Amino acid sequence: MTDTVLPVGGEQTVPGARLSPRDEGRLHYASAAFFLADEALQQIPIAPDPAPGDLLRAALRLAEFADRAVTSAAIAERERGTTWDQIGAAAGTTRQAAHERWHGDVRAWAATGRSDLPAHSPKDSMENAALLDRYYARLFPEQTTAVSSGLDAVRFPGSREYEGSLRARGAALNARLTVLKDQLQELGNAYRLLKETGDHGALANNLTTTADHSQEIASVFRQLAAAEPSLAEEHLHEAQKYEGWAESNGDHAKLYA
């Protein structure tokens, strides 16, 4: 067994390597479409005497897969630079409504590595594309690289190394966020216990530290806005939220001082 794989396009990569977030967003949507199509095909055979409600339950399950595809499409649109105004227009709604509906999904996608594959999967992203290629080719034999041929990693050889360097910065910042958020949660737990003691000095120190942590989290989000420009709006939104919490906790701490 070799240590490398040769994906579509002839570019050798280390197993577990990811593509650009733009490409990963496309794969995320293609994968969602694959599962939707597979689920729909399974429902085509007509059972002679299904149990009451089985057909409706199957259709509702199909609707769940369709909803996942819609969410994946919104994520892919953000990764390719589509604005929230444009997403709202495409969805037949307002910018604000679109942001409220999918902002959390986009943030979750960013926080977990911006990849269609799990963070620690040994599988290479181009292998995932090749699997989707083979599935599509079963239905349309004349199109053997329907998925992979549309990826930047194939269309622009060498782009993957550049994207890898950008990913490293984003990954380091997101790892820092995880640590800071865990610490912030611990401070919140400690605050609830301290309130029962009525120790004003300890409460003031806790709130001051909480304010400092919130401000540091906001700073990391602002750095992420520069490191991950396609999601800058999401990161800046989070930065402003934590800055507001930092100010609120700082003011609260003064009440106990």
Q: How far is the C-alpha of 44 from the C-alpha of 52, rounded, in Å?
A: 17
Q: What angle do CA 128, 134, 140 make, to 5 degrees?
A: 135
pLDDT value, residue 25: 95
Please give the chain's pLDDT, 257 residues, in tens. 233 332 333 344 444 678 889 999 999 999 999 999 999 999 999 889 999 999 999 999 999 999 999 999 999 999 999 999 999 999 999 999 999 999 999 989 988 889 998 777 778 899 999 999 999 999 999 999 999 999 998 988 777 777 776 777 888 898 899 999 999 999 999 999 999 998 999 999 999 999 999 999 999 999 999 888 889 999 999 999 999 999 999 999 999 87
Q: How far is the C-alpha of 102 from the C-alpha of 79, rounded, in Å?
A: 13
Q: Which two tokens stand for residue 38?
A: 């597979």
Q: How far is the C-alpha of 244 from the C-alpha of 248, rounded, in Å?
A: 6
Q: What angle do CA 155, 84, 233 make, to 5 degrees?
A: 85
At 257, the amino acid letter reads A
Question: What pTM was computed for the model?
Answer: 0.77
Q: How far is the C-alpha of 242 from the C-alpha of 217, rounded, in Å?
A: 7
Q: Which two tokens stand for residue 74?
A: 């919104």
Q: Which two tokens stand for residue 205?
A: 């120190």
